[in-house]
Amino acid sequence: MHTGKAFKYGDNVDTDVIIPARYLNNPAPAELAKHCMEDIDASFAGSVRPGDIIVGGANFGCGSSREHAPISIQASGVSCVIAASFARIFYRNAINIGFPIMECPQAAEAIRMGDTVSVDFTAGKIVDETTGETFQATAFPPFIAGIIENGGLLPYIKDKLEKEGN
């Protein structure tokens, strides 16, 4: 269970505003975190605290394939992104790096900026502690849940190659 303050944004939060291209020349996670969400919310990097939660609308993370986007959010200390839906490359990238995301249109709609939110990632449970409302996120297919449980894609691939004797 993680509890934090919600940073709420709208639909189509793109990877250019999550981490602008002018900062992609230095992919160190701590550097990326300094500029996370800069072009949509310049105060984000200065005010986010470990455990806080980003809430987005539809198509969160659309645009570029830059893995720097979920890396910058993860390195900011954010515990989870909740959205009505995710753009597919962002969705893959988050799973692949072992960063928790939850798809839940009802929570994405109801949670307000600054609400205190608790999430149980394994159970897919979201609680808006400020309003008392609870929500259930869409469950991951077992294969994807397995990748997440193993800490991302690489442990899965390594294990597979070793089994094949490579």
Partner 1 sequence: MGMTMTEKILAAHAGLPQVKAGDLIEARLDLVLGNDVTSPVAIDVFNKAGFPKVFDKEKIAIVLDHYTPCKDIKSAELCHTAREFARRFDITHFYDVGQVGVEHALLPEKGLVAPGELIIGADSHTCTYGALGAFSTGVGSTDMAAGMASGLNWFKVPAAIKVVLKGKPAKWISGKDVILHLIGLIGVDGALYKSLEFTGDGVSWLSMDDRFTISNMAIEAGGKNGIFPVDEKTVAYVQDKVSRPYTVYEADSDAEYESVVEIDMSTLRPTVALPHLPSNTRTIDEVRGMPIDQVVIGSCTNGRLSDMRIAAGLIKGHKVSGKLRVIVIPATQKIYMDMIAEGLTQIFVDAGCAVSTPTCGPCLGGHMGCMCEGERAISTTNRNFVGRMGHVKSEVVLASPAVAAASAVIGSIASPEDL
Contacts for 115 with CB less than 8 Å, ≥ 6 apart: 5, 6, 8, 128, 129, 130, 131
| Nearest distance in Å: CB 7, partner 1 | 17
- Cα gap 15→103, rounded to integer Å: 18
# binding residues, partner 1 (CB under 8 A): 44
150 interacts with partner 1 by CB under 8 A = no
Kindly indicate which of the ranges 45-53, 74-82, 122-130, 139-147 contains the residues binding partner 1, using the contact rule CB under 8 A: 139-147
Q: Does 154 engage in binding with partner 1 (CB under 8 A)? A: yes
One character per residue 94-113, x = contact with partner 1 (rule: CB under 8 A): --xx----------------
Collapse the DSSP code of 147 into the 3-class scheme (helix H, G, I; strand E, B; otherwise coil) and give the result: helix
Minimum CB separation of residue 70 from partner 1 in Å reads 8
Is position 126 an interface residue for partner 1 (rule: CB under 8 A)? no
Distance CA 82, CA 71 (A): 16
Beta bridge partners of 8: 55
